[in-house]
Amino acid sequence: MTRFTDSPPHHPPLSSDSVDYSLSIIIVEQVAAQKDVAPTALDPLYDTINPDALAALFDTRTNDASREQVKVAFEYSGCRVTVTGMDTVQVTPLDDQ
């Protein structure tokens, strides 16, 4: 089972079958929470990054030890989003950097 930190407590745990969908939702929900807006108020995530490609990098079905070394960072809706192979998602407002 994959765990992502800082996800809303009501968010269901990720399974290998839903990692792409859930990772995208976690990112959008965390950015929305950071900006104190509804997720629907944000631009679509796919305008910034390819969600399928991002999910493929962190797909637990591959069980690849090198996945732990993967780190992807990008800007989305005024925030810096960092996803690591250690199953973490961090969102930081750009004005705090």
| Interval 37-62 mean pLDDT | 89
End-to-end CA distance of the chain: 32
51 is a domain residue: yes
Entry pTM: 0.73
- Give exposure, 30-50, as e/b (b: 16+ Cβ within 10 Å): bbbebbeeeeeebeebeebbe
69 is a domain residue: yes
- pLDDT bracket for residue 55 (50, 70, 90): confident
71 is a domain residue: yes
Task: Tell me which of 69 and 16 has the higher pLDDT.
Answer: 69
45 is a domain residue: yes
pLDDT at 92 > cutoff 80 = yes
Return the pLDDT at 60. Answer: 67
- pLDDT bracket for residue 62 (50, 70, 90): low
Q: Report the domain count for the chain.
A: 1
| Interval 44-52 mean pLDDT | 95
The boundaries of the domain holding residue 90 are: 19-96
3 is a domain residue: no
